[in-house]
Amino acid sequence: MNRKLLVQNIKVALQSIKGQLLRTILTSLIIAIGITALVGILTAIDAIKGALTGQFALLGANTYTIQNTGPNIQIGRQGKRPKVYQNITYYQALEFKKKFADEPALVSVSYLASGTAEVKYRNIKTDPNITVWAMDENYIETGGYEIESGRNITEDEVKNATPVTLIGQEIKNKLFPKTNPLGEVIEIGNKRYRIIGLMKPKGNAFGFGGDKSVFIPITNARSSFSSPNQSFAINVMALNGEMLDQSTSEATAIMRIVRKLKPKQENDFHITKSDNLSETLIDNLSYVTYAAIIIGIITLLGAAIALMNIMLVSVTERTNEIGVRKAVGAKEVTIRSQFLTEAIVICILGGLAGIILGILIGNGTSMLVGGSFIIPWAWMGLGVGICFIVGLVSGIYPAYKASRLDPIESLRHE
C-alpha cells in the first residue's frame, strides 16, 4: 500500500467512524479498558519495583539481619512460609554483639516495641498508628536512617534506660507544626520521653519508613513495652562491602555458639541480606504481571469480537458505497485495505485512550508507594502493537467479505 492510498484510507476510516460514532465509541471503550488494565498494572509494577529498590538501597547493600524467622513474603499459592524458631533472647543478642565486636562491622540490637502507639504532647495527640522502635546506639546507622537535627541515643543512655526519644517527620508535623521539637517532652504509651533528635524524611512505603516512628532506648522499652515472648533482631552492617560473605559466615558461626548448637544441628535462626529481600519481593511480583497479561488478553479478545461485529455491520450498511467504488474501478485489494485500515484506526484510538488511563493509574499507584513518575515506553509500545494486531485480526474477515461483493448486486442493495 503506497503512502497516498494509506492517507486516503485513513480519511475514509475517520469519516466512517463519524457515521457510526456510538458503536465505535463502545468498541473503542472495550479496547481502552483492556489496554488500561495491561499498561496500568505493568506501569504500577515497574513503579513498585523502583520504590522497593530505593527503599532497600537505603539500608545498604552490605547490611543483613539475624532473626528467629525469615521474611514472610507469600504471593500466590507457590510461596512458602518461613520456619519460626525459638526466640532470640535479649541476652543472646547482647552476647552476639559482644563476641562480634572484633569484626569490621557495626552491630545493633532492636525490636518492634509497638505498631499501634499513640504519641501525645500537651493536648495534641497522634492517631494510634505510631511505630515504636526499641533500639541501641547503633540502630540508626545500621537501619539506614539519618538524623536531621539533634543527636542520636548514646551508649550510656541505653545502659541507664534514659527516657529519651527520636521522632519521625510526621510526628513532628502533627505535634510541633511551627516549633522546634528538640528538648520537648512527649508521652508514648503513658510514659514521658524527652525529644533529643528529629529524623530526616524517609517515607513510609512498605513499612520501612521512619516518618511515623519513634525510637527509644531498648532498655527503657523492655520495661515500658514488655512482652513475654519477645524475640530480638540483630542488624549487622559490614564496614567493608567486599567482605559481606565472610562477615555473614562469621556471624553464622558466632550465632551458633550463642545458641549452643551442636555441630550436626541445623541453624535455628535466619540471616537475611537487604538486597536479597528486595530481590525476593520483586520476583514475587511476576505473579501480578501474569495476572495483568491474562486480564488484558481476555478483555482484548472481547474487544476483537465486538470490533469484528461492528465491521460486519458496517459492510452491510455500506454495500451501496462498495458497489459504487467497484463500478468506478476500485480493485478488491483497495476495498480490503480500506476496511482493514478502518478496523486498525478504531483499535489505535481505543488503545491511545487506554495507554493514557493506564499511565495515570500506574503512576497513581507509584505515588501511593512513594515512587516517582515514570513513562513506560516499553509498555506503551506493547499496547500500540497489540492494538494493531487486534485491529488487523478483527478486520480481515469483514474486509474480505466487502472485497468479494458483486458490484451489480451491491448497487441494487437497499
> 109 - beta bridge partners?
234
The reply to whether 61 falls in a domain is no
Task: Assess whether 177 and 231 both reside in one domain.
Answer: yes
pLDDT for the residue 250: 92
Query: How many domains in the chain?
Result: 2
Question: Tens digit of pLDDT for each residue in 111-137?
Answer: 999 989 999 999 999 999 899 999 999
The reply to whether 23 falls in a domain is yes
Given 205, 238, 271, the domain boundary residue is 238
For residue 176, the enclosing domain spans 92-238
The reply to whether 263 falls in a domain is no
What residues contact 339, with CB distance under 8 A and at least 6 apart? 311, 314, 315, 395, 398, 399, 402, 403
The reply to whether 370 falls in a domain is yes
Exposed / middle / buried, residue 44 (Cβ in 10 Å: 0-12, 13-18, 19+): buried
Task: Assess whether 120 and 189 both reside in one domain.
Answer: yes
| Lowest pLDDT segment from 83-92, 148-157, 164-173, 350-359 | 350-359
Task: Assess whether 234 and 97 both reside in one domain.
Answer: yes
Task: Assess whether 43 and 101 both reside in one domain.
Answer: no
Tell me the three state secondary structure of residue 137.
coil
The reply to whether 352 falls in a domain is yes
Task: Assess whether 48 and 96 both reside in one domain.
Answer: no
Task: Assess whether 149 and 204 both reside in one domain.
Answer: yes
What residues contact 299, with CB distance under 8 A and at least 6 apart? 30, 33, 34, 37
Task: Assess whether 100 and 222 both reside in one domain.
Answer: yes
pLDDT band at 41 (very low <50, low <70, confident <90, very high): confident
Distances (CA, A) of 25 to 17, 20, 349: 9, 9, 9
CA 188, CA 120: separation in Å to the nearest integer?
7
Task: Assess whether 298 and 179 both reside in one domain.
Answer: no
pLDDT over 90 percentage in the chain: 32
Given 206, 222, 238, the domain boundary residue is 238
Task: Assess whether 112 and 164 both reside in one domain.
Answer: yes
Task: Assess whether 130 and 231 both reside in one domain.
Answer: yes
What residues contact 61, with CB distance under 8 A and at least 6 apart? 241, 244, 274, 275
Given 198, 219, 238, the domain boundary residue is 238
pLDDT for the residue 335: 78
CB 362 within 8 A of CB 42: yes
What residues contact 48, with CB distance under 8 A and at least 6 apart? 285, 365, 366, 369, 371
pLDDT band at 206 (very low <50, low <70, confident <90, very high): very low
Question: Tens digit of pLDDT for each residue in 49-104?
Answer: 666 555 554 555 578 889 998 665 554 455 566 788 999 999 999 999 999 988 88
Question: Tens digit of pLDDT for each residue in 310-323?
Answer: 777 777 777 777 77
Task: Assess whether 45 and 97 both reside in one domain.
Answer: no
The reply to whether 275 falls in a domain is no
The reply to whether 156 falls in a domain is yes
The reply to whether 381 falls in a domain is yes
Residue with cell 469480537: 305
pLDDT for the residue 197: 95
Distances (CA, A) of 13 to 21, 331, 402, 403, 411: 12, 17, 14, 16, 21
What residues contact 86, with CB distance under 8 A and at least 6 apart? 68, 268
Tell me the three state secondary structure of residue 64.
strand
Task: Assess whether 37 and 174 both reside in one domain.
Answer: no
